Structure 1
Protein backbone atom coordinates (compact mmCIF):
# COMPACT_ATOMS: atom_id res chain seq x y z
CA UNK A 1 0.00 0.00 0.00
CA UNK A 2 2.50 2.63 1.16
CA UNK A 3 5.16 1.17 -1.09
CA UNK A 4 3.09 2.14 -4.13
CA UNK A 5 2.68 5.68 -2.80
CA UNK A 6 6.39 6.20 -2.18
CA UNK A 7 7.41 4.63 -5.48
CA UNK A 8 5.06 6.98 -7.34
CA UNK A 9 6.36 9.90 -5.27
CA UNK A 10 9.93 9.23 -6.39
CA UNK A 11 8.82 9.32 -10.03
CA UNK A 12 6.32 12.20 -9.89
CA UNK A 13 7.32 14.38 -6.95
CA UNK A 14 3.66 14.78 -6.00
CA UNK A 15 1.10 12.16 -4.97
CA UNK A 16 -2.40 12.49 -3.56
CA UNK A 17 -3.78 9.68 -1.39
CA UNK A 18 -6.90 9.30 0.74
CA UNK A 19 -8.10 6.94 3.47
CA UNK A 20 -11.59 6.44 4.93
CA UNK A 21 -11.51 6.96 8.71
CA UNK A 22 -14.91 5.46 9.51
CA UNK A 23 -17.94 3.83 7.94
CA UNK A 24 -18.36 0.49 6.20
CA UNK A 25 -15.07 0.69 4.36
CA UNK A 26 -12.97 2.16 7.16
CA UNK A 27 -9.28 1.75 6.38
CA UNK A 28 -9.69 1.67 2.60
CA UNK A 29 -7.01 3.77 0.94
CA UNK A 30 -6.68 5.07 -2.60
CA UNK A 31 -4.16 6.97 -4.67
CA UNK A 32 -5.05 9.44 -7.40
CA UNK A 33 -3.81 8.33 -10.83
CA UNK A 34 -4.72 10.07 -14.09
CA UNK A 35 -7.59 11.93 -12.46
CA UNK A 36 -9.15 8.85 -10.84
CA UNK A 37 -9.08 7.26 -7.38
CA UNK A 38 -7.36 3.87 -7.59
CA UNK A 39 -7.90 1.52 -4.64
CA UNK A 40 -4.74 0.37 -2.84
CA UNK A 41 -6.17 -1.94 -0.19
CA UNK A 42 -8.15 -4.48 -2.19
CA UNK A 43 -11.32 -3.86 -0.19
CA UNK A 44 -13.52 -3.52 -3.28
CA UNK A 45 -14.33 0.04 -2.22
CA UNK A 46 -16.44 2.19 -4.53
CA UNK A 47 -14.54 5.49 -4.60
CA UNK A 48 -16.96 7.30 -6.93
CA UNK A 49 -18.97 8.96 -4.09
CA UNK A 50 -15.71 10.44 -2.73
CA UNK A 51 -13.78 11.03 -5.94
CA UNK A 52 -14.90 14.59 -6.73
CA UNK A 53 -14.01 15.89 -3.25
CA UNK A 54 -10.69 14.04 -3.19
CA UNK A 55 -9.69 15.39 -6.59
CA UNK A 56 -10.60 18.94 -5.57
CA UNK A 57 -8.73 18.81 -2.24
CA UNK A 58 -5.60 20.97 -2.42
CA UNK A 59 -3.99 20.18 0.92
CA UNK A 60 -3.69 17.58 3.63
CA UNK A 61 -6.68 17.33 5.96
CA UNK A 62 -10.07 15.74 6.71
CA UNK A 63 -13.55 16.37 5.35
CA UNK A 64 -16.94 14.65 5.44
CA UNK A 65 -18.75 13.03 2.54
CA UNK A 66 -22.17 12.05 3.81
CA UNK A 67 -21.56 9.94 6.92
CA UNK A 68 -17.94 9.15 6.10
CA UNK A 69 -14.79 11.00 7.21
CA UNK A 70 -12.09 11.16 4.54
CA UNK A 71 -8.45 12.00 5.25
CA UNK A 72 -6.58 13.31 2.20
CA UNK A 73 -2.80 13.50 2.08
CA UNK A 74 -0.82 15.51 -0.43
CA UNK A 75 2.73 14.16 -0.60
CA UNK A 76 5.32 16.55 -2.01
CA UNK A 77 8.99 15.86 -2.64
CA UNK A 78 11.91 16.81 -4.89
CA UNK A 79 10.51 19.99 -6.53
CA UNK A 80 11.86 20.64 -10.03
CA UNK A 81 12.55 24.16 -11.30
CA UNK A 82 12.50 24.23 -15.10
CA UNK A 83 13.82 27.46 -16.62
CA UNK A 84 13.02 27.85 -20.31
CA UNK A 85 15.45 30.39 -21.70
CA UNK A 86 19.08 30.99 -20.83
CA UNK A 87 19.26 34.77 -20.60
CA UNK A 88 20.27 37.20 -17.86
CA UNK A 89 17.30 36.55 -15.56
CA UNK A 90 17.74 32.79 -15.83
CA UNK A 91 21.18 32.76 -14.20
CA UNK A 92 20.20 34.20 -10.81
CA UNK A 93 16.96 32.16 -10.93
CA UNK A 94 18.98 28.97 -11.29
CA UNK A 95 21.29 29.99 -8.44
CA UNK A 96 18.41 30.85 -6.10
CA UNK A 97 16.48 27.74 -7.10
CA UNK A 98 19.36 25.46 -6.21
CA UNK A 99 19.89 27.30 -2.93
CA UNK A 100 16.19 26.72 -2.12
CA UNK A 101 16.40 22.97 -2.70
CA UNK A 102 15.04 22.62 -6.24
CA UNK A 103 16.36 20.30 -8.91
CA UNK A 104 17.24 22.89 -11.56
CA UNK A 105 16.95 22.40 -15.34
CA UNK A 106 17.78 25.14 -17.86
CA UNK A 107 16.85 24.83 -21.53
CA UNK A 108 17.57 27.09 -24.50
CA UNK A 109 17.70 26.63 -28.27
CA UNK A 110 21.15 28.26 -28.36
CA UNK A 111 23.99 25.99 -27.30
CA UNK A 112 26.28 28.78 -26.11
CA UNK A 113 23.56 30.03 -23.73
CA UNK A 114 23.38 26.84 -21.65
CA UNK A 115 26.95 26.18 -20.56
CA UNK A 116 28.25 25.05 -17.19
CA UNK A 117 30.22 28.29 -16.95
CA UNK A 118 27.00 30.32 -17.15
CA UNK A 119 24.93 27.93 -15.01
CA UNK A 120 27.26 26.26 -12.48
CA UNK A 121 24.34 25.54 -10.14
CA UNK A 122 22.11 23.78 -12.67
CA UNK A 123 21.56 20.04 -12.38
CA UNK A 124 20.70 19.69 -16.06
CA UNK A 125 21.42 21.80 -19.14
CA UNK A 126 19.47 21.17 -22.34
CA UNK A 127 19.94 22.53 -25.86
CA UNK A 128 17.00 22.08 -28.18
CA UNK A 129 14.03 23.67 -29.89
CA UNK A 130 11.25 24.79 -27.58
CA UNK A 131 8.88 23.31 -30.13
CA UNK A 132 10.14 19.88 -29.02
CA UNK A 133 9.80 20.51 -25.29
CA UNK A 134 8.15 17.13 -24.65
CA UNK A 135 11.13 15.32 -26.16
CA UNK A 136 13.61 16.91 -23.78
CA UNK A 137 11.77 17.41 -20.49
CA UNK A 138 9.74 14.53 -19.00
CA UNK A 139 6.39 15.21 -17.38
CA UNK A 140 6.66 15.67 -13.64
CA UNK A 141 3.89 16.51 -11.17
CA UNK A 142 5.91 18.70 -8.81
CA UNK A 143 7.37 20.98 -11.49
CA UNK A 144 7.74 24.77 -11.43
CA UNK A 145 8.14 26.29 -14.91
CA UNK A 146 9.73 29.70 -15.51
CA UNK A 147 9.37 30.90 -19.11
CA UNK A 148 11.95 33.53 -20.01
CA UNK A 149 12.75 32.83 -23.66
CA UNK A 150 14.10 35.55 -25.92
CA UNK A 151 10.84 36.24 -27.72
CA UNK A 152 7.07 36.13 -27.85
CA UNK A 153 6.97 33.09 -30.16
CA UNK A 154 9.13 30.98 -27.85
CA UNK A 155 7.11 31.96 -24.80
CA UNK A 156 3.78 31.06 -26.41
CA UNK A 157 5.18 27.79 -27.74
CA UNK A 158 6.28 26.80 -24.21
CA UNK A 159 3.03 27.81 -22.52
CA UNK A 160 0.99 25.87 -25.08
CA UNK A 161 2.90 22.64 -24.35
CA UNK A 162 3.02 23.04 -20.57
CA UNK A 163 -0.75 23.53 -20.47
CA UNK A 164 -0.96 19.92 -21.68
CA UNK A 165 1.05 18.54 -18.73
CA UNK A 166 0.83 18.67 -14.92
CA UNK A 167 2.60 21.48 -13.06
CA UNK A 168 2.68 23.16 -9.68
CA UNK A 169 3.60 26.59 -11.07
CA UNK A 170 3.77 28.23 -14.47
CA UNK A 171 5.10 31.74 -14.93
CA UNK A 172 5.92 33.79 -18.03
CA UNK A 173 7.95 36.98 -18.23
CA UNK A 174 6.80 39.92 -20.32
CA UNK A 175 5.07 43.28 -20.40
CA UNK A 176 1.36 43.60 -19.71
CA UNK A 177 0.71 44.14 -23.42
CA UNK A 178 2.73 41.06 -24.42
CA UNK A 179 0.92 38.99 -21.81
CA UNK A 180 -2.46 40.24 -23.01
CA UNK A 181 -1.69 39.32 -26.63
CA UNK A 182 -0.47 35.87 -25.56
CA UNK A 183 -3.59 35.21 -23.50
CA UNK A 184 -5.88 36.25 -26.36
CA UNK A 185 -4.04 33.99 -28.78
CA UNK A 186 -4.28 31.00 -26.45
CA UNK A 187 -7.98 31.64 -25.87
CA UNK A 188 -8.52 31.63 -29.64
CA UNK A 189 -6.70 28.28 -29.80
CA UNK A 190 -9.24 26.77 -27.40
CA UNK A 191 -7.48 26.92 -24.03
CA UNK A 192 -10.05 27.74 -21.35
CA UNK A 193 -10.05 30.77 -19.07
CA UNK A 194 -9.69 28.58 -15.99
CA UNK A 195 -6.46 27.15 -17.36
CA UNK A 196 -5.19 30.58 -18.39
CA UNK A 197 -5.80 31.82 -14.86
CA UNK A 198 -3.13 29.40 -13.61
CA UNK A 199 -0.51 31.27 -15.66
CA UNK A 200 1.44 33.80 -13.59
CA UNK A 201 2.07 36.57 -16.09
CA UNK A 202 3.66 39.01 -15.80
CA UNK A 203 5.82 36.70 -13.72
CA UNK A 204 6.95 37.35 -10.12
CA UNK A 205 5.74 39.35 -7.17
CA UNK A 206 5.40 43.11 -7.83
CA UNK A 207 8.40 44.32 -5.83
CA UNK A 208 9.64 46.77 -8.45
CA UNK A 209 12.71 44.80 -9.49
CA UNK A 210 14.77 46.17 -12.39
CA UNK A 211 18.06 44.31 -12.32
CA UNK A 212 18.11 40.64 -13.43
CA UNK A 213 18.93 39.60 -9.86
CA UNK A 214 16.00 41.61 -8.50
CA UNK A 215 13.61 40.10 -11.06
CA UNK A 216 14.89 36.65 -10.14
CA UNK A 217 14.17 37.34 -6.47
CA UNK A 218 10.59 38.35 -7.34
CA UNK A 219 10.13 35.17 -9.40
CA UNK A 220 11.48 32.83 -6.76
CA UNK A 221 9.52 34.65 -4.03
CA UNK A 222 6.31 33.98 -5.99
CA UNK A 223 7.27 30.34 -6.48
CA UNK A 224 7.87 29.97 -2.73
CA UNK A 225 4.50 31.61 -2.08
CA UNK A 226 2.74 29.11 -4.37
CA UNK A 227 4.77 26.18 -3.06
CA UNK A 228 3.81 26.90 0.54
CA UNK A 229 0.20 27.95 -0.08
CA UNK A 230 -1.20 24.46 0.57
CA UNK A 231 -0.38 22.12 3.45
CA UNK A 232 1.29 18.91 2.34
CA UNK A 233 2.80 15.91 4.06
CA UNK A 234 6.39 16.28 5.20
CA UNK A 235 8.08 13.27 3.64
CA UNK A 236 10.51 11.86 6.19
CA UNK A 237 13.19 10.04 4.22
CA UNK A 238 13.68 7.48 7.00
CA UNK A 239 9.99 6.56 6.92
CA UNK A 240 10.10 6.24 3.15
CA UNK A 241 13.24 4.09 3.31
CA UNK A 242 11.62 1.78 5.87
CA UNK A 243 8.62 1.22 3.61
CA UNK A 244 10.63 0.77 0.41
CA UNK A 245 12.94 -1.72 2.13
CA UNK A 246 9.94 -4.00 2.69
CA UNK A 247 9.81 -3.74 6.47
CA UNK A 248 6.49 -4.62 8.12
CA UNK A 249 4.91 -2.74 10.97
CA UNK A 250 2.41 -0.02 11.81
CA UNK A 251 2.26 3.40 10.18
CA UNK A 252 1.05 6.13 12.55
CA UNK A 253 -0.23 9.40 11.08
CA UNK A 254 -1.63 12.52 12.77
CA UNK A 255 -4.96 13.11 11.01
CA UNK A 256 -6.45 15.80 13.29
CA UNK A 257 -4.93 18.34 15.64
CA UNK A 258 -6.17 21.07 17.96
CA UNK A 259 -4.40 23.32 20.42
CA UNK A 260 -0.63 23.02 20.66
CA UNK A 261 1.21 19.87 19.66
CA UNK A 262 4.81 19.28 18.56
CA UNK A 263 3.92 17.87 15.12
CA UNK A 264 1.31 18.85 12.57
CA UNK A 265 -1.30 17.02 10.53
CA UNK A 266 0.24 14.46 8.20
CA UNK A 267 3.27 13.75 10.42
CA UNK A 268 4.17 10.05 10.25
CA UNK A 269 6.00 7.45 12.30
CA UNK A 270 6.70 3.88 11.20
CA UNK A 271 6.94 1.37 14.05
CA UNK A 272 8.40 -2.10 13.51
CA UNK A 273 9.45 -2.71 17.14
CA UNK A 274 10.18 -0.52 20.18
CA UNK A 275 13.80 -0.15 19.09
CA UNK A 276 13.10 -0.08 15.34
CA UNK A 277 11.19 3.05 14.40
CA UNK A 278 11.39 5.79 11.79
CA UNK A 279 10.01 9.31 11.93
CA UNK A 280 8.06 10.90 14.77
CA UNK A 281 4.57 12.11 15.67
CA UNK A 282 5.91 14.46 18.32
CA UNK A 283 7.72 12.48 20.99
CA UNK A 284 6.75 12.65 24.66
CA UNK A 285 3.77 10.94 26.26
CA UNK A 286 1.59 10.95 23.13
CA UNK A 287 4.17 9.12 21.07
CA UNK A 288 4.90 6.71 23.93
CA UNK A 289 1.22 5.78 24.35
CA UNK A 290 0.71 5.50 20.60
CA UNK A 291 3.69 3.16 20.28
CA UNK A 292 2.29 0.95 23.03
CA UNK A 293 -1.03 0.81 21.16
CA UNK A 294 0.70 -0.48 18.02
CA UNK A 295 0.89 -4.01 19.46
CA UNK A 296 -2.92 -4.20 19.45
CA UNK A 297 -3.46 -2.89 15.91
CA UNK A 298 -4.92 -5.52 13.60
CA UNK A 299 -5.72 -3.52 10.46
CA UNK A 300 -6.75 0.17 10.65
CA UNK A 301 -8.05 2.27 13.53
CA UNK A 302 -7.78 5.71 15.13
CA UNK A 303 -7.14 6.92 18.67
CA UNK A 304 -7.29 10.35 20.31
CA UNK A 305 -4.60 11.59 22.69
CA UNK A 306 -4.66 14.60 24.97
CA UNK A 307 -1.48 16.54 25.66
CA UNK A 308 -1.95 17.60 29.27
CA UNK A 309 -0.71 20.88 30.71
CA UNK A 310 2.03 19.00 32.55
CA UNK A 311 3.13 17.10 29.44
CA UNK A 312 3.05 20.26 27.38
CA UNK A 313 5.20 22.13 29.89
CA UNK A 314 7.79 19.36 29.86
CA UNK A 315 8.44 19.89 26.13
CA UNK A 316 8.23 23.67 26.21
CA UNK A 317 4.63 24.13 25.02
CA UNK A 318 2.51 26.90 26.52
CA UNK A 319 -0.74 24.95 26.57
CA UNK A 320 -1.98 21.43 25.95
CA UNK A 321 -3.32 20.03 22.72
CA UNK A 322 -5.24 17.15 21.22
CA UNK A 323 -4.25 14.86 18.38
CA UNK A 324 -6.01 12.04 16.58
CA UNK A 325 -3.69 9.33 15.28
CA UNK A 326 -4.41 6.91 12.46
CA UNK A 327 -2.88 3.43 12.79
CA UNK A 328 -2.43 1.36 9.62
CA UNK A 329 -0.97 -2.14 9.59
CA UNK A 330 1.54 -2.68 6.79
CA UNK A 331 2.32 -6.33 6.03
CA UNK A 332 0.97 -9.44 7.73
CA UNK A 333 3.53 -10.09 10.44
CA UNK A 334 2.31 -9.23 13.95
CA UNK A 335 4.33 -6.82 16.04
CA UNK A 336 5.92 -8.36 19.11
CA UNK A 337 7.33 -6.92 22.32
CA UNK A 338 5.71 -3.54 21.93
Structure 2
Protein backbone atom coordinates (compact mmCIF):
# COMPACT_ATOMS: atom_id res chain seq x y z
CA UNK A 1 0.00 0.00 0.00
CA UNK A 2 2.87 2.38 0.72
CA UNK A 3 4.19 1.87 -2.81
CA UNK A 4 0.74 2.34 -4.35
CA UNK A 5 0.22 5.55 -2.37
CA UNK A 6 3.48 6.92 -3.80
CA UNK A 7 2.81 5.84 -7.38
CA UNK A 8 -0.73 7.25 -7.43
CA UNK A 9 0.69 10.73 -6.83
CA UNK A 10 2.05 10.71 -10.39
CA UNK A 11 0.71 10.41 -13.91
CA UNK A 12 1.73 6.95 -15.09
CA UNK A 13 1.00 4.94 -18.20
CA UNK A 14 0.70 1.70 -16.26
CA UNK A 15 0.38 0.66 -12.62
CA UNK A 16 0.16 -2.95 -11.51
CA UNK A 17 -0.25 -4.49 -8.06
CA UNK A 18 0.64 -7.98 -6.90
CA UNK A 19 -1.80 -9.61 -4.51
CA UNK A 20 -4.61 -12.07 -4.06
CA UNK A 21 -8.12 -10.99 -5.05
CA UNK A 22 -8.99 -10.70 -1.36
CA UNK A 23 -5.93 -8.56 -0.61
CA UNK A 24 -6.46 -6.34 -3.66
CA UNK A 25 -10.10 -5.77 -2.68
CA UNK A 26 -9.07 -4.86 0.87
CA UNK A 27 -6.35 -2.46 -0.31
CA UNK A 28 -8.68 -0.76 -2.81
CA UNK A 29 -11.37 -0.29 -0.15
CA UNK A 30 -8.85 1.22 2.25
CA UNK A 31 -7.43 3.50 -0.47
CA UNK A 32 -10.97 4.69 -1.30
CA UNK A 33 -11.56 5.41 2.40
CA UNK A 34 -8.32 7.43 2.42
CA UNK A 35 -9.71 9.60 -0.39
CA UNK A 36 -7.95 8.24 -3.47
CA UNK A 37 -10.15 8.71 -6.57
CA UNK A 38 -12.04 5.60 -7.71
CA UNK A 39 -11.14 6.39 -11.35
CA UNK A 40 -7.43 6.21 -10.54
CA UNK A 41 -7.79 3.03 -8.49
CA UNK A 42 -9.80 1.38 -11.29
CA UNK A 43 -6.80 1.81 -13.63
CA UNK A 44 -4.52 -0.24 -11.35
CA UNK A 45 -3.96 -3.66 -12.93
CA UNK A 46 -4.55 -5.99 -10.02
CA UNK A 47 -3.75 -8.68 -9.59
CA UNK A 48 -0.95 -8.04 -12.07
CA UNK A 49 -0.08 -10.65 -14.77
CA UNK A 50 -1.35 -12.21 -17.95
CA UNK A 51 -3.41 -15.33 -17.38
CA UNK A 52 -1.13 -18.08 -18.68
CA UNK A 53 -1.71 -20.67 -15.97
CA UNK A 54 1.51 -19.75 -14.15
CA UNK A 55 2.29 -21.78 -11.02
CA UNK A 56 5.99 -21.51 -10.18
CA UNK A 57 7.60 -18.20 -9.11
CA UNK A 58 9.51 -18.13 -12.42
CA UNK A 59 6.31 -18.58 -14.44
CA UNK A 60 4.53 -15.92 -12.37
CA UNK A 61 7.42 -13.51 -13.03
CA UNK A 62 7.12 -14.21 -16.76
CA UNK A 63 3.35 -13.63 -16.68
CA UNK A 64 3.85 -10.29 -14.89
CA UNK A 65 6.49 -8.93 -17.25
CA UNK A 66 4.44 -10.25 -20.19
CA UNK A 67 1.52 -8.08 -19.11
CA UNK A 68 3.79 -5.04 -18.84
CA UNK A 69 5.18 -5.70 -22.34
CA UNK A 70 1.67 -6.26 -23.72
CA UNK A 71 0.43 -3.01 -22.21
CA UNK A 72 3.47 -1.14 -23.50
CA UNK A 73 3.15 -2.46 -27.05
CA UNK A 74 -0.63 -2.87 -27.41
CA UNK A 75 -2.12 -0.51 -24.82
CA UNK A 76 -4.92 -1.44 -22.45
CA UNK A 77 -6.55 -4.35 -24.28
CA UNK A 78 -9.25 -4.61 -21.59
CA UNK A 79 -10.71 -1.30 -22.77
CA UNK A 80 -10.95 -1.02 -26.57
CA UNK A 81 -12.17 2.59 -26.40
CA UNK A 82 -8.84 3.90 -25.06
CA UNK A 83 -6.62 1.28 -26.68
CA UNK A 84 -3.87 2.92 -28.70
CA UNK A 85 -2.59 1.19 -31.80
CA UNK A 86 0.97 1.41 -30.51
CA UNK A 87 2.66 2.89 -27.47
CA UNK A 88 6.12 4.30 -27.14
CA UNK A 89 7.23 4.26 -23.51
CA UNK A 90 10.75 5.38 -22.82
CA UNK A 91 13.21 2.64 -21.96
CA UNK A 92 13.87 4.33 -18.66
CA UNK A 93 11.70 7.10 -17.16
CA UNK A 94 14.29 9.05 -15.21
CA UNK A 95 11.79 11.66 -14.01
CA UNK A 96 9.44 9.10 -12.45
CA UNK A 97 12.30 7.22 -10.82
CA UNK A 98 13.76 10.38 -9.28
CA UNK A 99 10.34 11.47 -8.00
CA UNK A 100 9.77 8.10 -6.35
CA UNK A 101 13.24 8.20 -4.76
CA UNK A 102 12.76 11.62 -3.14
CA UNK A 103 10.49 10.69 -0.28
CA UNK A 104 12.25 7.85 1.50
CA UNK A 105 15.56 6.15 1.92
CA UNK A 106 14.42 2.56 1.39
CA UNK A 107 16.50 0.32 -0.90
CA UNK A 108 15.77 0.53 -4.62
CA UNK A 109 16.79 -1.57 -7.59
CA UNK A 110 16.99 -1.22 -11.35
CA UNK A 111 16.77 -4.24 -13.60
CA UNK A 112 19.47 -4.05 -16.25
CA UNK A 113 19.51 -6.24 -19.32
CA UNK A 114 23.11 -7.33 -19.79
CA UNK A 115 22.75 -9.32 -23.00
CA UNK A 116 20.16 -10.05 -25.64
CA UNK A 117 19.64 -12.54 -28.42
CA UNK A 118 16.95 -12.37 -31.05
CA UNK A 119 13.91 -10.11 -30.86
CA UNK A 120 13.58 -8.50 -27.41
CA UNK A 121 11.51 -5.60 -26.02
CA UNK A 122 14.52 -3.69 -24.69
CA UNK A 123 18.18 -3.39 -25.60
CA UNK A 124 21.18 -3.80 -23.32
CA UNK A 125 21.13 -0.90 -20.87
CA UNK A 126 24.63 -0.50 -19.59
CA UNK A 127 28.25 0.14 -20.44
CA UNK A 128 31.15 -1.93 -19.09
CA UNK A 129 34.29 0.03 -18.30
CA UNK A 130 37.62 -1.52 -17.36
CA UNK A 131 39.47 0.41 -14.65
CA UNK A 132 43.19 -0.05 -14.17
CA UNK A 133 44.28 0.95 -10.67
CA UNK A 134 47.94 0.18 -11.26
CA UNK A 135 50.74 2.66 -11.91
CA UNK A 136 51.05 6.40 -11.61
CA UNK A 137 47.68 7.34 -13.13
CA UNK A 138 45.81 5.48 -10.39
CA UNK A 139 48.16 6.83 -7.73
CA UNK A 140 47.51 10.38 -8.96
CA UNK A 141 43.78 9.75 -8.43
CA UNK A 142 44.36 8.41 -4.92
CA UNK A 143 43.81 4.74 -5.84
CA UNK A 144 46.68 2.60 -4.64
CA UNK A 145 45.03 -0.82 -4.71
CA UNK A 146 47.08 -1.98 -7.67
CA UNK A 147 44.38 -4.08 -9.33
CA UNK A 148 42.12 -4.01 -12.36
CA UNK A 149 38.31 -4.14 -12.26
CA UNK A 150 35.40 -4.09 -14.67
CA UNK A 151 32.41 -1.97 -13.63
CA UNK A 152 28.92 -1.56 -15.03
CA UNK A 153 27.94 2.06 -15.55
CA UNK A 154 24.27 3.02 -15.79
CA UNK A 155 23.57 6.71 -16.11
CA UNK A 156 20.33 8.17 -14.85
TM-score category (smaller protein): 0.3 to 0.5
TM-score (norm 1): 0.23
Higher relative contact order, chain-length normalized (CA < 8 Å, sep 6+): 1
TM-score by length of 2: 0.47
- Greater share of residues in strand: 1
